[in-house]
Amino acid sequence: MSKEIIRKSMVMKGLVGVAKSVSENDLAVINSMTRREFKSEELYVFPVVCCDSRLDRDQDRFTKDALEHMATLAKGVTGIFDHSWSALGQTARTYKAEVRVSQDDGEYELLAWAYMPVNEKTQPIIDAIDAGILKEVSVGFAYDGLQCSVCKQSYFGSDCMHIRGREYEGQKCFTWITGVKEWYEWSFVAVPAQPRAGVEKSFRDKQEDEKMKSLEGGNEVEKLFEYLKSLGLEVKDDDHALSIVKEWKEQADGAEKAAGDLETTKTALTDMQSKLKTAEEALKAAPDSAMAAAGQKFFDDTRSEIVRLGGLLGESTKSLEIIMKGVTDIDSLLEVKKDYEQRVNDKFPPTPQTKGAAGEEGSKAAEINLKDYAV
């Protein structure tokens, strides 16, 4: 991301004359920017083609999105001469802008509208604009993104290994200006074809020099050539050598990512093995399901028998059933069952299977002991 000022030059061309009057809507916008309200006849308005999506001499192109964002920044941008940042040099101010499609080639253009008061000081400027003498302009802005047209990476990023203006496999490299951070001013200039309109070399040029030095610095390219040839590789030119190095870098980055993924997989596997071990230990400690089911059935059968015996003794089976559900100790449950069995036996003693026949002597019938026939 650049924080330095970039300047692009354009010519105010392709316009159908210059507005001689101000519409009511435009007048309202302008008066929202002034300290007093102006009348239409007090103002001079004119259009300015500030920049477009065509390839320029700096090997730059604006994207449509960048131009549209720039249009939102247009209101209040000042117009000066030769990028001289002086309060006395302020001549005009933009009040609106829009992106239009050129009928000539279909490229996108940023069309801004500016105004200035009509007075003795500005009349010579107005006359020069009307006469076509003042028609070259240059915009000063800070870009927010610069993308390589070849690799689609950030041009000054470490992954881009291309130089603007050079060809790579038949494709000429240039940069897309994908975003505009700030729009500072636009200026009337004398030589718009000269990059940056004669201002000092920008920080971006320094970045360009540093990039070229890092990619081609001194005899480093020759050393790279010799090294690649020592490996038995056939190297055609500088670009081919750089493409080989870039491919190696991509492979190294891929291997590093794969190593990271493998480490993550190992960690996940170790965690899964630990959980499996815990589950196996819990399974070993748990009682056998068949035995647990058999034990539960024995409990239930014992409780049912106690309730049955209680019913024989005239007790409430419903209450007894509730009470027995609260007995969870098997020994206690068996003691209760034994007690109920004894009480039932006492109340209902066993009946003998045979008795003395009628007419037999009483003494013989009396000798029969019924306890001997208990079942």
Structure tokens given for 47: 């259009």
Predicted local distance difference test score (pLDDT) of residue 191: 55
State the pTM of this model. 0.51
pLDDT (0 to 100) of residue 223:
64
Residue 88's pLDDT band, with cuts at 50, 70 and 90, is low
Show Cβ contacts of residue 274 under 8 Å, excluding neighbours closer than 6 positions: none
| Max CA separation in the chain (angstroms) | 165
The model's pLDDT over 253-309, given as tens digits with 9 standing for 90+, comes to 888 788 888 888 888 888 888 888 887 777 666 656 666 777 788 888 888 888 888
Any idea what the Cα angle at residue 311 is, between residues 306 and 313, rounded to 5°? 95
Model pLDDT for residues 226-259, shown as the tens digit of each residue: 677 777 777 776 667 777 777 877 888 888 788 8
Transcribe 35-71 into DSSP letters: SSPPPGGGEEEEEEEEEESS--TTSEEE-HHHHHHHH
Structure tokens at 80: 């000066």
- What is the pLDDT at residue 286? 63
Burial 96-124 (b: 16+ CB within 10 A, else e): bbebeeeeeeeebbbbbbbbbeeeeeeee
231 vs 59, more confident: 59
Residue 156 DSSP code: T
Between residues 33 and 319, which one has the greater pLDDT?
A: 33
91-137 tens-digit pLDDT: 889 999 999 998 888 999 998 999 999 999 889 888 888 888 887 78
Q: Look at residue 118 in the predicted model and tell me its pLDDT.
A: 92
DSSP string covering 165-179: T-EETTEE--EEEEE
Q: Which residues pair with 137 in a beta bridge?
A: 10, 188
Distance, in Å, from the CA atom of 3 to the CA atom of 203, rounded to the nearest integer, reads 9
pLDDT at 102: 86
